[in-house]
Amino acid sequence: MSENNTYNGWKNRDTWNVALHMGEEPLYRLAVDYMKVDPDRDNPYIGFLLNNYMTHLVTPDGIDYMSDKLDFPALNDMMRELIS
């Protein structure tokens, strides 16, 4: 039996927590609108944070939106999937 080293399908709890809160209003609507402008942009997750002055903020659970523990490629994929 193989061991599952993910957290609800995400690399770790921090990434899961950020993705969870990005899926809640009003962040969800902001992210969708951001992605609609240029769906092919590079690094959409960090671009979204920069665009909305969120680089210094934390989730309601205290996870830094720019934590070095985050799986940024997975969060970029999450952003792209908002409009696919």
Name the residue ranges covered by the structural domains of the chain: 13-81
Q: Which pLDDT does position 4 carry in this prediction?
A: 56
What's the pTM value of the predicted model, to 2 decimals? 0.91
| Cβ neighbours for 19, distance < 8 A, ≥ 6 positions apart | 10, 74, 75, 78
What is the spatial distance between Cα 84 and Cα 81, in angstroms, rounded to a whole number? 5
Question: Which helix or strand (DSSP H or E) is residue 35 part of?
Answer: helix 27-37
Divide the 84 residues of the chain into consecutive groups of 10 and give the mean pLDDT of each group. Answer: 72 97 96 95 96 97 97 97 93
Q: Which pLDDT does position 84 carry in this prediction?
A: 86
